[in-house]
Amino acid sequence: MNNKFIESLNISLSLIIKDKDFDVSGGNVKHLSLNLHSYGYDGELSFIVYCEEENDEFLSPMISNNLIVVKLKIENNEVVNPYKMLPPIFDGWTPLELEETLSEMEGIADGGAALTAYAKLQYQDMGDKERTEITEGLLRYCELDTLAMVMIYEHFREICQL
C-alpha cells in the first residue's frame, strides 16, 4: 500500500562539521523519508551541495572524513513534542571526548532515559565534566516534566472548577 500525502512543510537543515555550522536551504533538500516505529524512527535524507568556487568553504568539509552532525527540523503548524527538542547531553563534544564517556548516552527524552542517566551518575570512575553534562541534561528533562505536571493539574482544576 502506497500512502502518500501532500502537505506544506517547513524544512530547515543544519550540518555541523568540526564545530562549524552550515545551513542548507530547504529548497536544496531533494528527498526525505521517515519510517515511524513504536520505539522511534529512522529515515533517509538527501540534499544538493554544489561548488561555486574551487576552494568552496562548504564543499571541502563535506568531502572530508570528519564527523558530520545533522540537525533536521520539520514543522507543519502542529504541536512538537518538547522532549524531542532537548539538546543532546554532550552537545559540542569532540568525537574523541565522546569515545571516552562512560555513560554512552546521547540524550534524555523520556522517563526510562532519565532513570538510566541518574543510575549512571553513581559511577565512581566518571569524570566531573561528564557528570556535570548528565546532571544538566537531567535538570532540563525534569524542568519539562514538572511543567507538564503543572499543566495537567491546572487542567484538572479547571474542569473540576476548584
Q: What is the pTM of this model?
A: 0.51
Question: Residue 111 and residue 148: Cα distance in Å, rounded?
Answer: 13
The pLDDT tens digits of the residues spanning 54-106 come to: 666 777 777 777 777 777 666 665 546 778 778 899 988 998 998 889 988 98
Rg of the chain taking only CA atoms, in angstroms: 20
Burial label, 133 (beta-carbon count in 10 A; 0-12, 13-18, 19+): buried
Q: Give me the residue spans of the domains in the chain.
A: 8-77, 79-162
Which amino acid, one-letter code, is at 68? I
Q: Percent of the chain scored above 70 by pLDDT?
A: 80
Residue 130 pLDDT greater than 90, yes or no: yes
The three three-digit cell numbers of residue 76, written as one number = 507543519
pLDDT on residue 80: 61
